[in-house]
Amino acid sequence: MALTLQTFPTADAASAALAADGASRYLGGGTLVVRQANEGDLSFSTYVRATDPALSAITVDDGQATLGASVTIGRIIADGRLAHIAEAAKSVGGPAVRNMATVGGNLYAPAPYGDLAVALLALDAMVEINGGPVPLSAFLADRYGTYAHSVLKSVSFALPAAGGLRFLKVSRVKPKGVSVVTIAALLEETDGTISSARVAYGCMADRPIRAQAVEAELAGKPRTADGIRDALTMATDGTSPITDAIASAWYRSQVLPVHLGRLLLA
């Protein structure tokens, strides 16, 4: 079957088309799906896209941001209201990829890709899909199952304070390389003591995951080398890192605690 593109005016119409045709894929920025077709993936023959303007909207209201799924990574970087997540957005690809890749696509990107998704997971974001809000962690766990043939509409989260989001993408190639491990952390502190923590990893599983043992151990501890020591011993709890051309699972496990420690103390 030759490839074709079907264009729909609304996300719901595109969702219906995706649901009706098992050999279809949603086309966002093209950085994942056109790449697959170019490499000879024959599992689909129809691209489905939606031109719904709502998908491209950015709204910021009372500290709460909602990004339409078609918002590009480049637009996040350019939007002053989103400055506190810009660093995470900048870690994605080069300028051309950032001008094409979308927020929605990043949430579907398989490891080692999907760096922004790691930040959004640490921000405890919610996504709008299949008619309802879904916690990002639940979406990620089922993104190639239940949510594979639906149009993700938007992602919402509370904007972090300046410097609140700690973000680190470790690459072997500087300045632009594929992730060895990506870490995002959002700490609440009172008088130097961590009152609560949310920590997310990329490449430490087939999808971005939360480091729950680390989060629990950090609560109530001073943000010092001594204070985070026990948390670092649990850094790899619950992880099953990927092995790819960039690094082995073993290597990722070895370097993760070091980078996590640096990020928490920075």
| Chain residues in the site for other proteins (CB under 8 A) | 1-5, 7, 27, 30-31, 34-35, 37-40, 42, 46-47, 49, 74, 90, 93-97, 99-100, 175-176
Nearer to other proteins, 39 or 61 (CB): 39
Q: How far apart are the first and last CA of the chain?
A: 53
Go through 28-52 and write b for each residue having 16 or more CB atoms within 10 A of its CB, e for each that does not: bbbbbbbeebeeeeeebebbbbbeb
Nearer to other proteins, 52 or 128 (CB): 52
Q: What is the dihedral of CA 109, 114, 120, 121, to 10 degrees?
A: 80
C-alpha distances (whole Å) from 201 to each of 59, 102, 117, 187, 240 are 27, 20, 9, 15, 11
The answer to whether 18 and 151 are in contact (CB under 8 A) is: yes
What's the order of all strands across the beta sheet hosting 179-190? 165-171, 179-190, 193-202, 209-210
To other proteins, the closest distance from the beta carbon of 246 in angstroms equals 13
To other proteins, the closest distance from the beta carbon of 239 in angstroms equals 27
Nearer to other proteins, 94 or 163 (CB): 94
To other proteins, the closest distance from the beta carbon of 5 in angstroms equals 5
Nearer to other proteins, 37 or 219 (CB): 37
Task: Count CB atoms within 10 A of the CB of residue 111.
Answer: 23
To other proteins, the closest distance from the beta carbon of 116 in angstroms equals 16
| Beta strand ranges found along 83-192 (DSSP E) | 126-129, 132-135, 154-158, 165-171, 179-190
What length is written for the chain?
266
Nearer to other proteins, 133 or 177 (CB): 177
Nearer to other proteins, 7 or 224 (CB): 7
To other proteins, the closest distance from the beta carbon of 17 in angstroms equals 14
To other proteins, the closest distance from the beta carbon of 75 in angstroms equals 10
Helix (H) or strand (E) holding 195: strand 193-202
